[in-house]
Chain A
Amino acid sequence: MISRSCWRRILSERGRGTSVHALLGILALVGPALGLAPRARAQEPEYFVTYSHDMEEPGNLEVEFHGDAASPKYGNPFGSATVEFEYGLKGWWTTEFYLSGQATGNDSAVFNGFRWENRFRPLLREHFINPVLYAEYENLNEADRSLLEITGHDGVQNYVVPNGIGRAITERSLETKLILGSNFKGWNLSENFIAEKDLNESEPWEFGYAIGVSRPLALAASPNPCTFCRENFAAGLELYGGLGDANGFGWKGTSQYLGPIVAFSIPHGPTVAFSPNFGLNDNSLKVLYRVKVSYEFQQFFRSVKDVLR
């Protein structure tokens, strides 16, 4: 058994500085450019786990900070941060890059790795149900606590592993989703079916799901400039969890969460959303608090080009 202090020593000696420098480097490159583009609120529903069929507008860059925090029953409290860069390549194609890190109380802070996903909308018109195909490559170590999706038999036992052990195991995986979304009378209803395959090991496909429903508090905009008008607020609900794997499909041994969402879009500013997620069984964290802040930089590269001209 390796002591906690030993884990700390291992951590301080191996690569933590590199990860921090990488993050700072990316921020230094991207940060100044972000100040150049006009900002606006995003139009899509503010889910934390569920994807809707709404794509990023072509040329727009959305930068999002996504944080979560929880205190596992037999482990140390942790907080995780993910920075997401979402870009609309085409009306039917959105790409997104994620960087994740976490800090665990009485343990350490570690960089977890990256995700890169692409979403494609095969049907170019709006239908009652709109499918979107999603493919993601993940390169994350097992200390990851971002909980951006739950698949297979993920559960509370994953969050008590010391960071020193978790960060030494990198999992490369392919995640696919079928996203179904509907917008009807101001409501958005989205369903995601997830299938994930570990590319390192011969593990079976793992499955999961997410369902979200949301609605702005007002459907028509008010004529006057205002910050706290009802149309700037949205409320919703998310339900998500694992569905086992190819060797044992179903709810058994999975974790399940339900959480209300409140979102506030500040005019010409960021959108802020908060959601307490409640674990629905013993295999889940009791409560997981999620928060996110997103900015949308409209016509990002064109704005940069205009400034450089």
Chain B
Amino acid sequence: MRAQNRNAGVRLAAGLLALVACMAAADGSWLKHVPAKDRARVNPYAGQADAIAAGAKLFEDHCSPCHGADALGRGKRPSLRSERVQQATDGEIAWLLKNGNLAKGMPSWSAIPEPSRWQVIAYLKSLGENEAAPLASAHSTSSQPSTPDRPDNDKSK
């Protein structure tokens, strides 16, 4: 009887630990580690249709297996259309993509060149918080006209 109770206790403790780990994975605690100068960085591609289309391609390649093709998250992997992510500054997301959150399962994407990471951020920000909104696909957004004030993409190549 005592052994059974002990086993139940161990299972309960393991369950609680898993729950805490799960909550910690999506608690946005990484935000408080972002240095001020990174936080203030601005996405040079923000709002540009070409960058959003390119970001959609990159998102499909690298992000969607964990966060879902709709970016709403899968299992323990958080939604990227949540208020927390959508309200984060471009610089904060850029910092997370570069550094990852290795202890909590988010890899570092520093091997992807910085201009490409900004493109992903442009795409993420284009999703907005409206979870019912259709996602921009690489094909459909590429046909959108470019904004006239976009900087020359080639300078970063």
Which positions in A face B, CB cutoff 8 Å?
38, 40-41, 43-45, 52, 54-55, 57-60, 88, 90-92, 121, 124-126, 183, 185-186, 188, 216, 218-225, 230-231, 267-268, 298-299, 302
Contacts and interface: CB of A to CB of B under 8 A. Distances in A.
A91 B62 contact: no
B119 interface: yes
Interface stretch (B1-9, B13-21, B50-58, B85-93): B50-58
A186 B98 CA distance: 12
Interface in B112-134: 112-116, 119
A267 B53 CA distance: 15
Contact of B98 (A126, A224, A230): A126
Contact of A54 (B49, B108, B115): B108
A91 B104 contact: yes
Contacts of A59: 65-66
Contacts of A55: 102, 107-108
Nearest to A121: B102
Contacts of B62: 40, 43
The size bracket of the interface on B is 35 or more
Contacts of B103: 91-92, 124
Contacts of A52: 111
A43 B111 contact: yes
Contacts, number: 109
A188 B109 CA distance: 13
A299 B111 contact: no
B113 A219 contact: yes
Interface string B77-91: 000000000000000
Contacts of B106: 91
Given A43-B62, A230-B157, A224 B53 contact: yes
Which 8 pairs between the two chains have the least Cβ-Cβ distance? A91-B102, A298-B65, A223-B53, A219-B113, A220-B115, A221-B54, A186-B113, A223-B50
Interface of B: 49-51, 53-55, 57-58, 61-62, 65-66, 74-75, 98-116, 119, 138-139, 141-142, 153, 156-157
Contacts of A219: 113-116, 156-157
Given A222-B54, A225-B142, 14 more contacts: A40-B65, A55-B102, A91-B101, A185-B114, A186-B114, A218-B157, A219-B114, A219-B156, A219-B157, A220-B116, A220-B156, A221-B116, A223-B50, A231-B116
A53 B66 CA distance: 21
A54 B61 contact: no
Contacts of B110: 54, 126, 183
18 contacts: A40-B65, A55-B108, A57-B107, A88-B107, A91-B104, A91-B105, A92-B102, A126-B99, A126-B110, A186-B113, A219-B156, A220-B115, A220-B119, A223-B49, A223-B57, A223-B141, A225-B142, A267-B61
A57 B107 CA distance: 6
A103 to B, nearest CB: 34
A299 B63 CA distance: 11
B107 A224 contact: no
A126 B101 CA distance: 10
A41 B74 CA distance: 21
Contacts of A121: 102
Contact of B111 (A45, A218, A221): A45
A298 B62 CA distance: 9
Contacts of A124: 99-100, 102-103
